[in-house]
Amino acid sequence: MKKQAAILFLFSLILFIACSGTSAEHKILHEAADVHNEALKIRKEMDSNIEKLQSLRGSIQVQAEALSDEELKFVKSVEVLEKRLEYWNENHVEVPGFEHDGHDHSGHDHNHDHSHDHSHAPKYQLPASDMLIIQKEFRDSILAIKGKLESLLLNAPQ
């Protein structure tokens, strides 16, 4: 009888430890998903400023006369910003299990044909703590892009 009680206790202890780990991992993944959604919200809020910036660039490029050094620098800066934003759009990573949790699909393709899926490449299988770090880095990078966007708008050639 003592042997059965010891086995039952050991089994219960292992089950408790296993469930605790899963719960902690899920909590970290949930935090990573929150950071991911925050980054997507920041990205979405940038849309109108991106359109303004592209419009300014277009009006500068339409001029028939030669562009000043300031205008050329501005146009080049907008192009670099667009490439950074395109890279961010194509490479930010969704959190496994939270792929569509409050996710806004605008701004990038969500073709669910996974043989040719460009929605959030690459896909990673990482520990929850690493996924949280990645999500924070992508949030920080979209904040940096947003800062550059706002700076370009403020300092656009007149």
Contact between 47 and 107 under an 8 Å Cβ cutoff? The reply is yes
Rounded CA separation 136/95 (Å): 12
What is the per-residue pLDDT across 55-76, written as a single tens digit (0 to 9) for each?
Answer: 988 888 777 578 888 888 998 9
For residue 18, pLDDT over 50 is answered with yes
What is the per-residue pLDDT across 104-158, written as a single tens digit (0 to 9) for each?
Answer: 444 444 333 333 333 444 556 789 999 999 999 999 999 999 999 999 999 888 7
For residue 32, pLDDT over 90 is answered with yes
Rounded CA separation 11/124 (Å): 32
Token couple for 58: 């277009």
Rounded CA separation 122/96 (Å): 12
For residue 82, pLDDT over 60 is answered with yes
Mean pLDDT in the chain? 79
The whole-model pTM stands at: 0.71
